[in-house]
Each structure stands twice: as C-alpha cells, then as structure tokens.
Structure 1
C-alpha cells in the first residue's frame, strides 16, 4: 500500500553522498523553487515504493517515528558500508524468522533511523 516516502535531511549534498555510497546508486537532485529533493532510482515496472530525500524546514531528521525499510540482497552488504559513508550501525544483521528473512538498522548521515530487509 505504500506509494511514496520522504526522508528528511539537513544537508542534501551530504545525504546524497551517504545514500549513493551505501546503496551504490545515483540519486537525482531536484530543486522545486527552494524545496530540495534527492530522488531514489525507481523503475515504472518494479515492485515497491519510490521516494526521496527532502530538505525543507518542516522536515526534521529523527530516530523516532516511521521506519522505512529498503530491500537488499543481503543486509550485511549495505550495513558494511554505513560507517565509511558517515552513518552509524544501530542494529546489526538480525534474523527475523525462517519465513521472513533478516533485517538491520542504521542511522544515516542526517540522524534518521533507516532499516534494511533481505531474505538471506
């Protein structure tokens, strides 16, 4: 049911560099008249929601609130890049169950709590 997500940032350049390094992707920076966004890559035919980094005074990075999960082939891969990219590990790779795979959580460069999920 999720269609879109927005991750608050204080420093767009730093946040883009962090997520590009952790996920090995390119984020497109867009300026809508002062509202800065960093769009995550998304394919029209792909499963799951797309989203953006967002910088605007009403958006405040936080470790509380909604937790966004990014899909991964193996969460340990991205978790292994977090600290070098400027973030912190919050929860190392943890088995949820045989049926539901694994999860891990990190704090991004802006102070947001972000999760990863993989089947292996």
Structure 2
C-alpha cells in the first residue's frame, strides 16, 4: 500500500484569525463548524481543517505538512506576509526531479510548507 493523506488538522489558537490567513493565502473561503469545545474551519478541497481546541497546540515542531504550491509556489509565498504569516524559507530547488519547496509560519505559529514543480 502506498502512503497517502486522507485528512489533516492544523492546530490554531484563534480560528477566526487562522481562517482569515488561510482564506487569503489560498484565495478561498474557510467554512466554520462549531462542535462545542471543538471549533473547525474546513479548508477547500475537503481534505483538512483548522482546529481550535485545548488539546491542539500550534507549533514549529512535529510533522511538517506541505501544500501543493500550484504552478509556482512563489505566488503563494508572496501572499504569506500580507495575510499575517512569515516566510521562513524562500523558494528553494530540491532537485530537478523533485521541483521546489518553501516554508512559512502561519498566523498561529505553525510551520508549514509548499511544493511545486516550477
């Protein structure tokens, strides 16, 4: 069996702020769900969510999730800081076969990445 991601959850301290950040970054609305103590912001594509709950702590440590950077991840990295995040690593070539990557910190302090072929 090949590994594949079916669902991911990004911890947030402030769901409204995080939804604003990701909405601006990916130019898409984030749908809010109120599940009592657990608050979620569903990301477009339906494969993941922002999650606000006492058991979820934003961090630079742990698993590093890379989003699809589209045709050129530099376009998304250019949106990070105006949306309230911080670019950690600018567009960097991994190899000719693997394309490019970049790292950013979201509005909540999570470290995440982008990948693209160009």
Q: TM over 0.5, yes or no?
A: yes
Q: Give the drift of 1:32.
A: 1.1
1:18 is aligned to 2:21: yes
Aligned to 1:65: 62
Aligned length: 114
SS at match of 1:42: coil
- Aligned mates of 2:5, 2:85 — CA distance in 1: 26
Q: Which runs of 5+ in 1 are unaligned?
A: 44-49
Pairing partner for 1:42 from 29, 32, 45: 45
SS at match of 1:67: coil
- Aligned mates of 2:41, 2:34 — CA distance in 1: 9
TM-score (norm 1): 0.92
- Aligned mates of 1:5, 1:55 — CA distance in 2: 13
Aligned to 2:32: 29
Q: Give the drift of 1:41.
A: 1.1
Q: Which runs of 5+ in 2 are unaligned?
A: none
Aligned to 1:47: none
Moved over 2 A (4+): none
- Aligned mates of 2:69, 2:113 — CA distance in 1: 10
- Aligned mates of 1:38, 1:78 — CA distance in 2: 20
Q: Give the drift of 1:72.
A: 1.7
Farther off after superposition, 108-117 or 19-28 = 19-28
- Aligned mates of 2:115, 2:34 — CA distance in 1: 30
SS at match of 1:90: strand
- Aligned mates of 2:105, 2:45 — CA distance in 1: 23
